[in-house]
Amino acid sequence: MLQGERHLRILEMLRQSRTISVKQLCDSLEASEATIRRDLGTLELEGKLERTHGGAILTGPTRLNVEDSYNQKESMFEAQKRAIAKKAFERLSNHDSIILDAGTTTLELARLIGQSNLQLTVITNSTTVSSVISQNTNVELIAIGGKVRLNVLASVGHLAVEMLRRFNVNKTFVAANGISIESGLTTPDLDEAEVKRAMLECANERIVLADHSKFNRDALCQIAPLSMVDVIITDADIDESILGLYAQNDIEVIPT
Q: Is residue 187 part of a domain?
A: yes
Assess whether 24 and 103 both reside in one domain: no
Assess whether 109 and 225 both reside in one domain: yes
Give me the pLDDT at residue 67, please. Answer: 56
pLDDT tens sequence across 7-23 = 888 987 887 777 889 99
Q: What CATH number is attached to the domain comprising 26?
A: 1.10.10.10
- The DSSP output letter for 228 is G
Q: Which domain holds residue 244?
A: 70-255
Q: Is residue 64 part of a domain?
A: no
**Nearest one of 196, 183, 194, 180 to 103, comparing CA atoms:** 196
Give me the pLDDT at residue 252, please. Answer: 97
| Through-space distance between the first and last CA atoms of the chain, rounded to whole angstroms | 37
pTM attached to this predicted model: 0.76
Assess whether 53 and 78 both reside in one domain: no
Assess whether 79 and 13 both reside in one domain: no
Q: Is residue 77 part of a domain?
A: yes
Contacts of 71 (CB under 8 A, 6+ apart): none
Assess whether 36 and 95 both reside in one domain: no
Highest mean pLDDT, choosing among 64-73, 111-120, 142-151: 111-120
Long-range contacts of 147-151 (CB under 8 A, 24+ apart): 147/191, 149/102, 149/189, 149/191, 149/192, 151/69, 151/70
Assess whether 11 and 90 both reside in one domain: no
* Helix orientation angle between 3-17 and 33-45, rounded to the nearest 10 degrees: 80
Assess whether 228 and 249 both reside in one domain: yes
220: enclosing H helix or E strand: none
